[in-house]
Amino acid sequence: MFRAITIAVLSVALLGTGIFAYQTHQEKEALAISHENNYQRAFHQLSYHMDQLEDELGASLATNGASQFSGSLAEVWRISSLAHNEMGELPLGMIPAKETDQYLANVAEFSYETAVRDREEEPLTDEEYDKLENFYSQAKEIKHDLRTVQAQALNNDFRWSDVERELMSEQNPGEGTMVSSFKSIDQKAKGFSENNWNDDAGFSLDVNKRLAKVVKDKEELSEEEIIKKAKAFLDLPTTVDAKAEKLGEGMPYKGYQVVIEDSDGERNYMIDMTERGGLPVWALQSRDITEPKIGLNEASERAKEFLEDKGITDVQLVDSKQYDTIGTFQFVPVKDDVRLYPDALIVEIALDDGDLVGFKGANYFANHRERHDLSPVLTLDDALDELHPNLKSREEHLAVIENQNGDEVLTYEIFATMNGDTYRIYLNADTGLEEEVKRMQEAEPVYDVDVI
């Protein structure tokens, strides 16, 4: 009797466990499938869009006449950014896609630039037409390869999640798989992006490279001298503990990262200095900041004093914002009443004791130099005539900015209002063209979800 009951109970328990395990398995399966589906969708859409990209690039080569041309170029631009987006949805590091991404970015940039400009006045140059032809033939190849991979994947019932798993368990997804197919596509794309897109054609060098150029001829300092300079810059006594470490070879210039600990142990500073010339690239202090005791205005004056103290004079405060206990200030140098935005400096001041908590000088040291063309062709009144009639101008300055092509241009910086919104408009001071129009962000209301 007892035995029979035991058997019955155990069989029920076994059955229950079985059902439970089966359900869990089902759920897991469903989840894995939906995960896989996301990857599949991104991948198939990518090859679909490469198809379309080829079509539209071909169409734009064949169209004559400004208006239709605009249409197909805009289409190229739209599709290339879609494709770029879809690449971002595929697992990173799994497919070597760097160059393909770069290719898409180049196509997007080119089509945007040519689509928005007035080609009645500025028709496509022969060079640009060649470039377009190039993009077209490249799109053809990439599409062809992608289609091949896609067919393989469909025939062999390929699963992205399998590759992902292999990758996570540190096995190298072997030769002959999807990954190696992708690799060869990417190799090809690399050839493309190198061929017709060299870095110095219109592209601005990044700030580190420019800084490397600036410090090239300066005197090389020893580690001790760097530490000394770092302490002096942060107004710290020479006695505090500090150690310096060389920056890695990934930097275009040689430099040190200096870590300084205050004797009380509560605050510590980190600062990067260039080895040549000992220029402070950035500095941050980390410590708890207590209740604010000084106002934003006083803090901004301290920030300015700090800069002047370090020999950075003739600067103007262009933006200030309070984040709880920290005041963040942006300064730009001013020369002949012209604001030099590419040389901007950032200074952060703690509002409890007015101490420096953050500094960024990379742009200043990389870009600040004697600029020669600082006199505008247009007068301010001429420039204001170019403004949209509904805008009411409130504040005007001359300013050098870096425009979308990465070139420095002299502009009129105009702050204007319309329907309660504030706009910042940069009008080219020579041509009167709008270099940039931006609606200034207002403070954001606190969206509180507790009450909903």
Residues 62-91 that bind another protein (CB under 8 A): 84-85, 88-91
Asked if 437 touches another protein (CB under 8 A), the answer is no
Please choose, out of 19-27, 53-61, 356-364, 368-376, the segment that lies near another protein by the rule CB under 8 A.
356-364
Segment 14 to 53, residues that bind another protein, using CB under 8 A: 39
Instruction: Give the number of residues in contact with another protein, rule: CB under 8 A.
Output: 77
Segment 166 to 185, residues that bind another protein, using CB under 8 A: 167-168, 170
Site string for another protein, 329-348 (x = CB under 8 A): -x---------------x-x
Asked if 272 touches another protein (CB under 8 A), the answer is yes
Identify the bridge partners of residue 61 per DSSP, sorted by sequence position: none
Please choose, out of 49-57, 98-106, 232-240, 381-389, the segment that lies near another protein by the rule CB under 8 A.
98-106
Asked if 358 touches another protein (CB under 8 A), the answer is yes
317's CB contacts (< 8 A; 6+ apart) are: 300, 303, 304, 329, 330, 331
The DSSP output letter for 377 is S
Asked if 405 touches another protein (CB under 8 A), the answer is no
Segment 359 to 378, residues that bind another protein, using CB under 8 A: 360, 362
Among residues 72, 138, 300, 411, which is the contact residue for another protein, using CB under 8 A? 300
Which single residue is written with the structure tokens 């770092």?
A: 230
- Give min distance, CB of 444 to another protein, in A: 5
Of 336, 425, 339, 419, the C-alpha closest to 383 is 425
C-beta separation of 115 from 154 below 8 A: no
Asked if 205 touches another protein (CB under 8 A), the answer is no
Please choose, out of 163-171, 223-231, 382-390, 425-433, the segment that lies near another protein by the rule CB under 8 A.
163-171
Residue 403 DSSP SS3 = coil
CA dist 285 and 105 (Å) reads 37
- Give min distance, CB of 241 to another protein, in A: 15
CA dist 301 and 317 (Å) reads 9
C-beta separation of 304 from 384 below 8 A: no
Asked if 217 touches another protein (CB under 8 A), the answer is no
Q: Which is nearer to another protein, 63 or 422 (CB)?
A: 422
Task: Quote the tokens at residue 350.
Answer: 């703690």
- Give min distance, CB of 439 to another protein, in A: 10
Segment 277 to 296, residues that bind another protein, using CB under 8 A: 281-282, 284, 286, 291-292, 294-296
- Give min distance, CB of 158 to another protein, in A: 16
Question: What value does the CA radius of gyration of the chain take, rounded to a whole number of Å?
Answer: 30
Asked if 4 touches another protein (CB under 8 A), the answer is no
Among residues 194, 206, 266, 353, which is the contact residue for another protein, using CB under 8 A? 206
Q: Which is nearer to another protein, 149 or 357 (CB)?
A: 357
Backbone φ and ψ of 360, nearest 5°: -135, 120
Q: Which is nearer to another protein, 38 or 63 (CB)?
A: 38
The DSSP output letter for 119 is T
- Give min distance, CB of 13 to another protein, in A: 32
Residue 339, CB-side half-sphere exposure with 13 Å CA sphere: 21
Which single residue is written with the structure tokens 């103007």?
A: 316
Please choose, out of 19-27, 110-118, 216-224, 434-442, the segment that lies near another protein by the rule CB under 8 A.
434-442
Of 391, 400, 405, 398, the C-alpha closest to 438 is 391
139's CB contacts (< 8 A; 6+ apart) are: 50, 53, 54, 57, 107
Site string for another protein, 106-125 (x = CB under 8 A): x-------------------
- 375: buried, middle or exposed (CB in 10 Å: 19+, 13-18, 0-12)? exposed
CA dist 56 and 15 (Å) reads 60
Mapping DSSP onto H, E and C, the string for 264-296 reads: CCCCEEEEEEECECCCEEEEEEECCCCCCCCCH
